[in-house]
Structure 1
Amino acid sequence: MRWAQGFIAVDWGTTNRRAYRVGRDGTVDDEMEDGKGVLSVPSGGFDAAVGEIRARLGDLPLLMAGMVGSNRGWVEAPYVPCPAGLPELAARLQWVEAERTAIVPGVCFAEGDAADVMRGEEVQILGAYGEGLVPADGIVCHPGTHNKWIRLEDGRITAFRTVMTGELFNLLKAHSILADLLALPAGVNDAFEAGVRRALDGGELTAELFSVRARVLLGKTKREDAASFTSGLLIGADLRAGLAFAGETGLVAMGRPELTALFAAAAAVAGRPTREVDGETAFLAGAIHLAELLQ
């Protein structure tokens, strides 16, 4: 019954970590967030990094998810193959300290030539299902650095596809010929919707990206609209791939609100209403449901 007395849930990614102290009644008593992602922890430094969390939030059982369980993290937690639900994750926890410190495994998908992996999103997706925030059968879009399109069947993850939209935008913004244009503010406006439509109409993404600069140079597009158009173009291409995966199923966008809003706006251009679910709420629900399976 150790976990029933309270525990700490940690979402530990590549560049950031967030930890929550969950009380006996399932409410969050305290939390912390910092930029100490797994890539910033030196070799042999995870014991101390975990100690920092307990020093801040209390000497409680610890349930961790995300890249902390990758081969770049603390202890590798092997992937659980699809189909995967909360019971499968709970059965395959990687215990660093018996009954006290555990890492949630990621989920993998392999079928024919298709292959994909995720870490962290599975806790949110299955937590949202456990709380009734998403249906047992449907498609969830999880936007982020590596956007996921995830199929749920009977409350289990059965297939998913990753699209590198966020990372591509960041690379273009930092290192490409479009960097000066992408430094300008981007938002949901007419230029964003035009980019979405261009991608949905089947435009060749790499060619369309170069034309962003050309249209500005030749006066066909306002400079201040370039970032929004590019954002719409990338998200529209992502959406086109996701809709091919989803078919006619209803869509749910889950994650950070500022990102789900962008995908919902793009989906509206495609005539596909999208319901948004907060990723933090879903992560906590998943962590609590997993902890309940340990009692």
Structure 2
Amino acid sequence: MTATSGPGGVIAVDWGTTNRRAYRLDADGRVGDALRDDRGVLTMAADDYPPALAALRERLGDLPVIAAGMIGSTRGWREAPYVPAPCGLADLAAAALRLPEARMTIVPGVSVLTERRADVMRGEEIQVLGAIAAGLAPADALFCQPGTHNKWITTADARIVDVATVMTGELFSLLKGHGILAGMLDGAVVDGTAFRDGLARGAGACDLGTALFEVRASVLLGRRASEEAAAYASGVLIGSDVGARAVAGRTVHLLAEGALADLYKVAIETLDGTVVAIDATAGFLGGVHRLRGMLA
């Protein structure tokens, strides 16, 4: 049995910073079993990976492993260097880090480096390219994956050509826990008047710092109820993020689900974009299944 194929299938692992998702796939890409836990790379030392792989195989089957995400970063187990954009699944397969002794393959991330900017990602590339390979999205598309570090990914001819990472979620967390807005952002972040007011303020704003201070001032001066401050601040940040993408008249493929994805959907549609929701897990599994054939 090689590191990338086997009669019983393969274990596909999305090994992130704080979480880990693993799936047993059969030869046709169907899921037989799955697990999700908090064994992200930040919880693990280098010596923890061999027993962790053994435990995965005990649970999901004695199969080869294909892993993507932060496990291939400098914080993970073994570094799989980034593949420069433009990049497709074949490019990822060619640059994949093979670990025969562990019967494992680590998929590299994707980088963008131009005279104006630099960006990187790990894990999202499999979801995006897998969604295209599975027919869930066209070859030329704009993707958005909300999260702590929101990703905007542009593809052309089924290859990733650009990546833009926005620290929207992290900024909100920092504002909530530190600084002058700490203690003011404990209310619910939900769609409503306050959130949409924030969207309008943040969209196209060149003065994001000023707009965020207005969260405090508007509460102090009685313009906004204190319990609405968090929704308004979230709207400002998400509005600034989405507003910078010029989504009007465009289709955005949203690779996420849950409350944050719902807020991004509202923001994109408010700014005259069209949202197509895509199951990120289906994209990931489609990507690994297609990669498996390329790696064999």
TM-score by length of 1: 0.94
SS in 2 for 1:63: strand
Q: Which amino acid aligns with 1:188?
A: D
* Superposed counterparts of 1:63-142, under 5 Å: 63-97=66-100, 100-142=103-145
Q: Which amino acid aligns with 1:136?
A: A
Match of 2:188 in 1: 185
2:46 touches 2:77 (CA, 8 Å); kept in 1?
Answer: no
Match of 1:200 in 2: 203
How far is the alpha carbon of 1:250 from its aligned partner?
Answer: 2.3
How far is the alpha carbon of 1:204 from its aligned partner?
Answer: 1.4
How far is the alpha carbon of 1:52 from its aligned partner?
Answer: 2.1
Q: Which amino acid aligns with 1:146?
A: H
Match of 2:236 in 1: 233
Are 2:249 and 1:272 aligned? no
Match of 1:36 in 2: 39
Q: 1:203 to 1:108 in 2, by over 3 A?
A: closer
SS in 2 for 1:274: strand
The CA deviation string for residues 1-49 of structure 1, in whole angstroms up to 9 with x for no partner, is: 8345311110111111111111233221111111111011024222222
Q: Which amino acid aligns with 2:139?
A: A
- Two-structure CA RMSD over aligned residues (Å): 1.8
Q: 2: distance between equivalents of 1:280 and 1:10?
A: 11
Match of 1:282 in 2: 283
Match of 2:53 in 1: 50
How far is the alpha carbon of 1:201 from its aligned partner?
Answer: 4.2
Are 2:258 and 1:261 aligned? no
Structure 1 ranges of 4+ moved more than 4 A: none
Q: 2: distance between equivalents of 1:43 and 1:27?
A: 31
Match 1:25 to one of 3, 24, 28 = 28
How far is the alpha carbon of 1:267 from its aligned partner?
Answer: 1.0
The CA deviation string for residues 111-166 of structure 1, in whole angstroms up to 9 with x for no partner, is: 21311110000000000000111111121111111111111100100111111111
SS in 1 for 2:62: coil
Match of 2:15 in 1: 12
1:109 touches 1:159 (CA, 8 Å); kept in 2?
Answer: yes
Q: 1:197 to 1:203 in 2, by over 3 A?
A: farther
Are 2:170 and 1:167 aligned? yes
Q: Which amino acid aligns with 1:174?
A: G
Q: 1: distance between equivalents of 2:276 and 2:286?
A: 18
Q: How many residues align?
A: 293
Q: Which moved more, 1:67-76 or 1:186-195?
A: 186-195
Point out where structure 1 has 5 or more consecutive residues left out of the alignment: none
TM-score by length of 2: 0.93
Q: Which amino acid aligns with 1:131?
A: A
Q: 1: distance between equivalents of 2:240 and 2:6?
A: 43
Q: Which amino acid aligns with 1:73?
A: G
Point out where structure 2 has 5 or more consecutive residues left out of the alignment: none
Q: Which amino acid aligns with 1:143?
A: P
Q: Which moved more, 1:197-206 or 1:207-216?
A: 197-206
* Superposed counterparts of 1:151-162, under 5 Å: 151-162=154-165
Q: 1: distance between equivalents of 2:85 and 2:132?
A: 16
